[in-house]
Structure 1
């Protein structure tokens, strides 16, 4: 949590770390069936910290095992101004089987991204593990957290929630699941300050199965909380993971922005899950602005009326779904507007079923989740701490949405890494529309001066990115194996929300 103190803190849920050498140490089980927790073993976490302050950052990381009474494990590092540091389990002095959370304290403001995976790398992971996800570290804990999407074995997918006590005294947390089958509640044991617990739908008695288990979750406590949702299957070793942070009350707004919406675009589709965080019923409308593919320059709408307090609704972007008029092959951005209250929202992305059943991508699913942005979060500067150009068979696409009232004509993207600093010419984005930044090492003409080298690779292809604009913007960073669609590496896709400043 970034506090109004000399040292600032950010809270990080380190969801289940188990090293390759101890692959028999599985995820801790809080429910009677293995389908309700992250499947298998080999899970590990890396933290990317970006110093966005005015001087060198002196940083302390305290990692808390979820078991009560265990002394936290400390680690101190320094990070130069405008630089980033990547910390793996071994850097944090964490041993096999660790499962818990962390508090990162600094005398300079930081951005934090957490990577959770079971892939084999740097002595971690498990053979056959392909799952990967990213989420933001939490800098504003709250006594109420909202999660727009809950599943329990819904078409094989389940959500698991990691809840951290970011307060000063031990406290319980109460979880209320609102799903199609009804309302279900669960109260945790006491959670010590800094520590985390796992909550899943089974603990509250939510029935499993298609349709009946889909809904939303609200978690409350007398102490401020940080939280993360992980969506997964039951396969072992795991090949899929999706994750994003919880929403606090300050994240609720009558408008929310989703920079990436896909309607069967290169065989990918999205679901937009909108939760009513108000005390009464609301109406929701979604405006989609086509930015690429078959719908560039076009506008589409969809609506949901009478969304009950605390409940959620899914807008599915597949041809033939209720209210969806976008054509096949459409890449768009979305603006969600609530009448009568506030909302929060997330976006899930995956391959369409027909593509996989026909042998596409080897029949292997890859999925991501990101949080939509409240209108109040938009600014004219956005930072993405981790961006890759042809780096160890990984590439990043940065989707920038103009959420201002007018066309943005001075959008400048600056890439800073060990390979140098590179600045683009001003770009233009229509109001409500989006711009995709990807494979910039192939686009020399878009740079003001020296471009990113066409032969860039390896560590030189890792950058921190800053985007400035003459209109308020938000952005999502999507990471995938590279070359796109033809990579020798297999891995789940992952993404994170860029940081507004």
Structure 2
């Protein structure tokens, strides 16, 4: 059986990559963006992989690339200019097909600087409606803009409609496998200062990836299934200048009172925060309750959190008074070192007993990774993480229901290259019926925005 997943933004350059990113192409104002991805073979059999690249607006692959990936091993696709037929300046999408199960994450870099960028996860299937919780046009003094690519993962031409909060719309016709780009920064129907959401509908299944571009670059996947109890595997405050902002949007038709419960992993004390979210609006959680440097909210908040203390843990919506569907993203920001990353909240029903991290690094050109895993099951479970091309494991015993485990890979995994460790990881929960969810951080030692965040992949 041939399995396939989609990469909604793909491009090519001649510059070699050092952190699992490479490729180049799209433009937003004066900035140029490039993408690369790490793919991991999840099986115990060699995977025969075909990657088809589609230029924007084209229904026929511009070129295809065939490769074999060893069992259980990762591979980095960075210097894509070596692929015949994929020229510098290519902008579009990719479909990866394999006779074995594979997973991938995508990194996006700005202006050729491999330390400034964002990440998102490749997807294995699409949906005919997705929610994008957080978009910008010339927002704040940092001039944040956003754009997103919509990829048609169906077999027929897709008629795509984007409806922004406030009523503005855009449409596109997208060929199978191909993609269309929607740039909020150049959209004349959106006002300056736009900070809101959009719904994307199609008569074919689609996949959507979002990039936010300002003093930092952040990226995330659009949400196909809003949740009444979304979960946030990593939330922080006063964490070496890092803090989190959880943007929760009520996509239902009634106002609802939402309580988020925070559980510490590395540091902090359990606490709660409650806000009322009117229909069609969003509220920021964690931002004004878990960090001392972020100012005050313009809307009422009820909380018992102490925003002056160091906190690293997780959060989950535990009360949703009107049981409304919620779509949420988590931005992790550092305004001192000017770095940031983003991921989408997860519905607990998407949990499984195994998590895949397609990229794990330890002092690889100055980059290392770390992850947070939440036990969303109803029984304690032990979790063990193994890493490709290494005998090193990391584990936790009897992680309680609702508890979070955070681990870093810095000085932990011996190098498998001349420049440190560059591989992948699989984390397995041992309890019968165990259910876990996670998020992965990739952090560099440079002064630029060397911070990439992606959702771990449930398998």
Structure 1 length normalisation: TM-score? 0.79
Shift of 1:396: 0.6
**Mapping of residues 221-300 of structure 1, within 5 Å:** 221-233=202-214, 240-248=216-224, 251-293=225-267, 295=268, 298-300=269-271
CA 1:86 to 1:129, structure 2 compared with 1: closer, same or farther past 3 Å?
closer
Q: Does 1:134 align with 2:123?
A: no
Q: Does 1:473 align with 2:436?
A: yes
**Mapping of residues 442-453 of structure 1, within 5 Å:** 452-453=413-414
Q: Residue 422 of structure 1 aligns with which residue? A: 392
Q: Residue 171 of structure 1 aligns with which residue? A: 158
Q: Residue 146 of structure 2 aligns with which residue? A: 159
Instruction: Supply the distance in 2 between the matched residues of 1:284 and 1:269 (Cα, whole angstroms).
Output: 21
Aligned residues: 431
Shift of 1:341: 2.6
Query: What is the RMSD computed on CA atoms of the aligned residues?
Result: 2.5
Shift of 1:53: 2.9
**Mapping of residues 79-478 of structure 1, within 5 Å:** 79-88=69-78, 89-93=80-84, 94-118=86-110, 125=112, 130-155=115-140, 156-178=143-165, 182-188=166-172, 190-201=173-184, 202-203=186-187, 205-209=189-193, 213-233=194-214, 240-248=216-224, 251-293=225-267, 295=268, 298-308=269-279, 310-315=280-285, 316-317=287-288, 318-319=291-292, 321-322=296-297, 323=301, 325-328=305-308, 329-337=310-318, 338-339=320-321, 340-352=323-335, 356=336, 361=337, 365-408=338-381, 410-417=382-389, 420-424=390-394, 426-439=396-409, 441=411, 452-453=413-414, 458=418, 461-469=421-429, 470=431, 471-478=434-441
- Superposed CA offset, 1:236-292 (max 9, x none): xxx7321111111xx322222111111222111111011234354433221111223
Q: Does 1:10 align with 2:5?
A: yes
Instruction: Supply the distance in 1 between the matched residues of 2:418 and 2:398 (Cα, whole angstroms).
Output: 30
- Superposed CA offset, 1:460-483 (max 9, x none): 5123212122342211111111xx
8 A contact 1:57–1:79 mirrored in 2? yes
- Superposed CA offset, 1:32-57 (max 9, x none): xx3xxxx423x322121111134221
Instruction: Supply the distance in 1 between the matched residues of 2:456 and 2:395 (Cα, whole angstroms).
Output: 21
CA 1:91 to 1:110, structure 2 compared with 1: closer, same or farther past 3 Å?
farther
Instruction: Supply the distance in 2 between the matched residues of 1:330 and 1:433 (Cα, whole angstroms).
Output: 14
Give 5+ residue unaligned stretches, structure 2.
17-23
Shift of 1:313: 2.4
Shift of 1:304: 2.6
Q: Residue 47 of structure 1 aligns with which residue? A: 37
Instruction: Supply the distance in 1 between the matched residues of 2:360 and 2:15 (Cα, whole angstroms).
Output: 27
- Superposed CA offset, 1:409-440 (max 9, x none): x22222222xx222345434343232221146
CA 1:169 to 1:424, structure 2 compared with 1: closer, same or farther past 3 Å?
closer
8 A contact 2:81–2:88 mirrored in 1? no
CA 1:333 to 1:69, structure 2 compared with 1: closer, same or farther past 3 Å?
closer
CA 1:204 to 1:19, structure 2 compared with 1: closer, same or farther past 3 Å?
farther
Shift of 1:72: 2.2
8 A contact 1:275–1:313 mirrored in 2? yes
Instruction: Supply the distance in 1 between the matched residues of 2:74 and 2:246 (Cα, whole angstroms).
Output: 32
Instruction: Supply the distance in 2 between the matched residues of 1:292 and 1:19 (Cα, whole angstroms).
Output: 41
Deviates more, 1:130-139 or 1:316-325: 316-325
Q: Residue 26 of structure 2 aligns with which residue? A: 27
8 A contact 1:15–1:116 mirrored in 2? no
Instruction: Supply the distance in 1 between the matched residues of 2:399 and 2:307 (Cα, whole angstroms).
Output: 22
Q: Residue 59 of structure 1 aligns with which residue? A: 49
CA 1:91 to 1:246, structure 2 compared with 1: closer, same or farther past 3 Å?
farther
8 A contact 1:186–1:204 mirrored in 2? no
Which structure: greater helix fraction? Answer: 1
Which structure: greater strand fraction? Answer: 2
Structure 1 counterpart SS, 2:187: helix
Runs ≥4 residues deviating over 6 A: none
Instruction: Supply the distance in 1 between the matched residues of 2:425 and 2:152 (Cα, whole angstroms).
Output: 32
Shift of 1:15: 4.8
Give 5+ residue unaligned stretches, structure 1.
1-5, 120-124, 234-238, 443-451, 482-486
